[in-house]
Amino acid sequence: MTTGAGQAPSQPRTFYDAVGGEPTFRAIVARFYELVAMDDVLRALYPEEDLGPAEERLGLFLMQYWGGPTTYSDERGHPRLRMRHAPFAIGGAERDAWLRAMRVAVDEAALEPAHRDQLWEYLEMVAHNMTNRPG
C-alpha cells in the first residue's frame, strides 16, 4: 500500500501543527511579553531585566505541551510549574493581569475559534493553579 509520493504514513495531527506550529506560539509569547513589559503589576514580578529568556522558556514550554518539539524539557527538565512559580507572589491581581495580557496575545493570533477556546481553557486552568497567595 502506498501513502502517496514521498509522504510519511499519516499520523494524528497535533494541536501544535493544527495552529501553525512554532511561528504561532512565538507570536503569542512575543506579544504577551510586550504587554508584560508595559504592565506594572506583572513587570514587578519578573526578576530579569531582559524578558527575552522568560519569553523563550514560556514559548518552548507551550510548544512542547501542545505536541511540538521537546526542547523545553531537554533544556529545563521536568516543568514542575507550581514549584517554579512558588518564589513569585501570585495572588488574584497578578493572575488576572497575566490572563488579561495573555488573552490579548491569544486573540491577536487569530486561531480558529475551537483552537482558541481549547488553548484559552488550558491557560486559565493553569493560571488558577499557579495562584499561590490569598487575595
CA distance 135 to 10: 49
Please return the burial class of 62, using the count of CB atoms within 10 Å of its CB with bins 0-12, 13-18 and 19+.
Answer: buried
Q: Is 85 in the site for ligand HEM (CB under 6 A)?
A: yes
- For position 90 contacting ligand HEM by CB under 6 A, the verdict is yes
Interaction between residue 57 and ligand HEM (CB under 6 A)? yes
Single-letter code of the amino acid located at 30 = A
Contact between 123 and ligand HEM (CB under 6 A)? yes
First and final CA of the chain: distance in angstroms?
A: 61
120 interacts with ligand HEM by CB under 6 A: no
- Choosing from 15, 17, 20, 45, the residue that interacts with ligand HEM (CB under 6 A) is 45
Cα distance between residue 57 and residue 81, in whole Å: 12
Identity of the residue, 18 or 99, whose beta carbon is nearer to ligand HEM in the bound complex = 99
- To ligand HEM, the closest distance from the beta carbon of 31 in angstroms equals 15
- Judged by CB under 6 A, the residue of 46, 67, 103, 115 near ligand HEM is 46
- The candidate with the shortest Cα–Cα distance to 95, out of 130, 121, 43, is 130
Number of CB atoms found within 10 A of residue 83's CB: 9
Any contact of residue 104 with ligand HEM (CB under 6 A)?
A: no
Residues near ligand HEM (CB under 6 A): 45-46, 48, 54, 57-58, 61, 76, 81, 84-85, 88, 90, 94-95, 98, 123, 126-127, 130-131
